[in-house]
């Protein structure tokens, strides 16, 4: 899969370069103050997008910059998302897109749902300072590999999600319906070393806390 790694301006403390598992062909896109983290990790971006309301430092020479107006409908991260999808990337990793302001966090989760709606089948993940968040939509399935008893949550973003299956967990589910009005999937635990999650129809967020 071709992947775009998008550095954002959320909570950056505790994110290390090894957490990104960078590949040689990754396209690195920095949004505004996301550039600060990329610089700290000694990662050179291929493109910088932003209105520069949160970053005022120097810009690396030779890197293209798309300057945005501050008064706009799309956030810098949403503009980066639209760019990545237009370029045909089928895997998006958002770095430091949690923490800080609650409205920004909820907006970033909605951004994952935008990916599901506008580019079905595109893998989308948030690497936050204290958690990883994956998007799982129609027909999607994934595995979480983590130590036994690790906590994870499966939450519905769409009005409902049908055919939700969870195995390898303390609280398994077999084809149930989840809704966005009751958090049934909060704080499950991995029974062995791998939990499997799938959904037949709908949009789920799968959340795994990280130890930092």
**pLDDT tens for residues 39-69?**
999 999 999 998 888 778 888 999 999 998 8
Mean pLDDT along residues 158-166: 97
Q: Give residues with Cβ within 8 angstroms of 156, minimum separation 6.
A: 178, 179, 180, 185, 202, 203, 204, 205
Q: What is the pTM of this model?
A: 0.91
C-alpha to C-alpha distance for 148 and 190, rounded to whole angstroms: 5
Residue 168 has pLDDT above 50, yes or no: yes
pLDDT value at 198 more than 80:
yes
Q: Are residues 20 and 127 in contact, defined by beta-carbon separation less than 8 angstroms?
A: yes
Q: Percent of the chain having pLDDT more than 70? A: 99
> How much is the average pLDDT of 193-210?
95
Q: Tokens 């209105």 appear where?
A: 51
> What per-residue confidence (pLDDT) applies to 211?
67
Please give the pLDDT value at position 132. Answer: 95
Q: Residue 117 pLDDT > 50, yes or no?
A: yes
pLDDT in tens, 14-35: 899 999 999 999 999 999 889 9
Distance between CA atoms of 27 and 6, rounded to whole angstroms? 8
Domains of the chain in sequence order: 3-129 (3.40.50.10240), 141-209 (2.60.120.320)
pLDDT of res. 70:
83
Instruction: For residues 154-169, give the mean pLDDT.
Output: 97
Structural tokens at position 28: 């690195």
Instruction: Identify the band that residue 210 occupies on the pLDDT scale cut at 50, 70 and 90.
Output: confident
Q: How confident is the model at residue 212 (pLDDT cuts 50, 70, 90)?
A: very low
Q: What is the pLDDT of residue 104?
A: 85
């Amino acid at each position: 899969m071709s992947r775009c790694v998008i550095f954002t301006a959320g909570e950056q403390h505790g994110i290390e370069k090894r957490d990104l598992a960078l590949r040689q062909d990754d396209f690195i896109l920095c949004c505004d103050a996301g550039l600060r983290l990329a610089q700290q990790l000694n990662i050179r971006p291929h493109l910088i997008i932003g209105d520069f309301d949160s970053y005022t430092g120097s810009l690396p020479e030779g890197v293209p910059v798309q300057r945005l107006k501050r008064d706009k409908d799309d956030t810098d991260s949403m503009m980066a998302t639209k760019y990545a999808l237009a370029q045909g990337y089928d895997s998006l990793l958002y770095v430091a897109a949690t923490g800080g302001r609650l409205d920004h966090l909820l907006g970033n989760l909605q951004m994952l749902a935008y990916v599901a709606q506008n580019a079905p089948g595109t893998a989308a993940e948030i690497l936050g300072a204290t958690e990883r968040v994956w998007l799982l939509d129609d027909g999607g399935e994934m595995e979480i590999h983590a130590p036994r008893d690790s906590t994870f949550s499966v939450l519905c973003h769409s009005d409902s999600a049908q055919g939700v299956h969870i195995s390898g967990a303390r609280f398994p589910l077999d084809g149930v319906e989840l809704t966005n009005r009751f958090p049934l999937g909060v704080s499950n635990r991995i029974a062995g070393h791998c939990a499997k999650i799938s959904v037949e129809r709908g949009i789920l967020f799968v959340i795994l806390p990280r130890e930092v």
